[in-house]
Amino acid sequence: MARHSGRGWYGKLVGAALGVTLLAAGASVWTAQAGAVGGSSPRATASATPSVKPVDVTIVHASDKGARGVNITIDDGPDPVWTPQMLDVLREYGVKATFCMVGTQAQAHPDLVKKVVAAGHRLCDHSVSHDTTMDTKSQAYQSQQILDAERMITEASGGVRPMYYRAPGGAFTPYSRKLAASRGMRPLGWNVDTKDFERPGADAIVATVERELPNGPTLLFHDAGGDRSQTVEALRRILPRLKEQGYSFGFPVR
């Protein structure tokens, strides 16, 4: 996976700490306070939350639809302008996607998180502030980024937890993968980087998908970080074209 760069705008979104509690390696895990949806801070407990089932720590790329499956993954939102448009396109073609959300964005737009869930899409933790240098930081910092985002997304969704963790720019570490997996979030990679964040034009985005899809089933798009009209248009072309070619749309395996 290629590392993304040049999208440091998320640093400006992170303000005061939101009741941050750090998790040391192998120590306690997060639980939300009972009935907490918005405002209350997390607390640590020495025992695992019963509803959380650990998953595989390896980075997943495969589709649950098998050899002719395709996973649509959409990063960095939700965004009030572009996420609704992408939801409309996905609904038009009957396609489900995985939305890798930044914690601050989810917290700012809980209505959109709920719409994503209500439409049958899956949630993915994409860290609090989209720091693509996370793999160079301490384990305590990685814990804060992953676990606070998990909490923000869960609260914004009304209680639906993210099923995957995608490191910003692919900045995974063995520690971050193990931590995410312990929280029931499968580390999620990608096979086809559409480079849509560079706004190369819808034609170029479509061409990248067609050229690189043989590399694997998981496609990377973005619904925030700037003008995503090209991504919307590219999806409008790609989805029916892939269906005509006999592909099915699914989710990354868990």
Name the residues annotated as catalytic. 75, 222
- Transcribe 29-40 into DSSP letters: EEEPPTT--SSP
182 in Cβ contact with 165 (< 8 Å)? no
Q: Measured between alpha carbons, how far is 187 from 107 in angstroms, rounded to an integer?
A: 22
> How crowded is the C-beta side of 89, counted as CA atoms within 13 Å?
20
Of 162, 168, 192, 195, the residue nearest 180 (C-alpha): 162
Q: Measured between alpha carbons, how far is 250 from 233 in angstroms, rounded to an integer?
A: 21
